[in-house]
Amino acid sequence: MSIWSKNKKNKDGVLQKINKNLPMEAMPDFSHFEINSNQEVIVEGNKGIIHYDENIIKLNMGKMVVMFCGRNLSLNCLDVDSLVISGFITSIEFIT
């Protein structure tokens, strides 16, 4: 049994337990952010890029949009569902 578990309703409204110890690939609706000071963010679980310029990057995360604001922002290490944002990050906004 895990230390942390979360209840989530499926389409039928039935509660199912989701174990935090499962790998990210097993939980397609979850996102993971790793923030390294205000210089870099590693994003896993993104569904696409909505807007990209040197001051604003907006990402579709499925059920929400995440907006990164700053200066000299750039996208690095693009993969199917992950990327790295680098630059001087001044704010992160979660839009539902």
Q: What is the pLDDT of residues 10-59, one digit of tens each?
A: 444 433 444 555 555 555 567 889 999 999 999 998 889 999 999 999 99
DSSP state of 38: T
Instruction: With CA atoms as reference, report the closest residue to 95 among 65, 73, 71, 75.
Output: 65
Is 82 domain-assigned? yes
Pairing mode, if any, of strands 65-76 and 48-52? unpaired
Domain residues for 65? 24-95
* Distance in angstroms (rounded) separating the CA atoms of residues 10 and 89: 36
Is 11 domain-assigned? no
Q: What mean pLDDT do residues 52-78 have?
A: 94
- What is the pTM assigned to this prediction? 0.70
Q: Count how many domains the chain has.
A: 1
Given a cut of 60, whether residue 84 has pLDDT beyond it is: yes
